[in-house]
Amino acid sequence: MTHRSVVLTALTIVLATAVWLASTVTQRETHLRCRHSRPATGAPPDVVAVTAEGALFHRPGCKYVHGAVRLESGAAAMANGYTACTRCLKSQRSES
């Protein structure tokens, strides 16, 4: 095997691995707390209100929060499967 064929084989393997890794990353599903939820489309506020039983995150002070409220970062709420409130954070909800 010549040096050129070894290099081409190595490049082919690297390219195939990169394509495979990219496809597995894009196929990752978002974990949502409710099967009826839609993921948020915009960046969440810095601080949001969530409840242990709920599936939505709200602006602190939203009158539609039910239960004991816990404040956490918007990014953490999204990572934990919460989605934006349909009333106080309507602009951050997915319409599809």
Q: What is the pLDDT of residues 44-96, one digit of tens each?
A: 788 999 999 999 999 999 999 989 999 999 989 988 888 888 889 876 655 54
Q: 74: which 2 tokens? A: 């918007």
Q: Indicate the domain borders of the chain.
A: 1-30, 31-96
pLDDT at residue 37, as a whole number = 62
Stated as kind and residue range, the H or E segment containing 76 is: helix 74-79
Stated pTM of the model: 0.57
Asked whether the predicted pLDDT for residue 28 surpasses 50, the reply is no
pLDDT at residue 4, as a whole number = 87
Average pLDDT over residues 17-43: 65
pLDDT at residue 94, as a whole number = 52
Q: Phi, psi (5° rounding) for residue 48? A: -130, 160
Top pLDDT among 67 and 34 is at: 67
